[in-house]
């Protein structure tokens, strides 16, 4: 997963964010060092400050042996920090993403797929919708 943060308190359109994420990906592929506000998203990374805008690109490859198994991506807001964690405790869970804030998940063609809110409203969505 890679991320790009909008400068200051600006907001980006989907098209601008995709352009910036492609640039970040190309820069990393070319061996450029990560800069503040963009790079590889690592477990435990904290976004901020409040009211800032951040974009994440996640590419998930489902292993062949799991493609016919009912898989889901769990999007929850359970903790007090903005973190990304991998779930290993249940076979049905592929990944947990906890933004601890409002978030919107888009399809690869820019169509909003799922909105998220902080507790007490955990959100689950089925990857079949993507």
pLDDT in tens, the chain (130 residues): 899 999 999 999 999 999 999 999 999 989 888 877 899 988 788 888 888 999 999 877 777 776 776 655 544 444 333 334 443 444 444 556 667 778 888 888 888 888 877 765 555 555 555 5
pLDDT at residue 100 in the model: 73
Strands (E), the chain: 2-5, 38-40, 54-57, 72-75, 83-85, 93-98, 103-106, 112-116, 123-126
From 104, 101, 106, select the one nearest 117 (Cα to Cα): 101
CA distance 42 to 44: 6
CB-CB contact of 93 with 76 (8 Å): no
Is beta strand 54-57 parallel, antiparallel or unpaired with respect to 2-5?
antiparallel
Whole-number pLDDT of residue 18? 94
Q: Provide the pLDDT for residue 129.
A: 53
Q: Which residues pair with 116 in a beta bridge?
A: 103
Cα–Cα distance list, 44 to 30, 39, 79, 92 (Å) = 25, 14, 12, 23
Task: Give the per-residue pLDDT at 85.
Answer: 43
């Amino acid at each position: 997963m890679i991320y790009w943060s909008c400068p200051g308190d600006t907001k980006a359109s989907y098209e601008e964010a995709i352009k910036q994420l492609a640039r970040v990906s190309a820069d990393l592929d070319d061996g450029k060092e990560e800069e503040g506000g963009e790079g590889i998203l690592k477990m435990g990374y904290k976004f901020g400050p409040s009211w800032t805008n951040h974009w994440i690109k996640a590419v998930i490859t489902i292993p062949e042996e799991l493609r016919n198994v009912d898989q889901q991506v769990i999007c929850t807001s359970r903790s007090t920090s903005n973190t990304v964690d991998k779930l290993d405790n249940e076979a049905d869970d592929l990944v947990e993403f906890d933004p601890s804030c409002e978030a919107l998940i888009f399809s690869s063609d820019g169509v909003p797929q799922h909105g998220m809110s902080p507790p007490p409203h955990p959100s689950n969505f089925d990857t079949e919708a993507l």
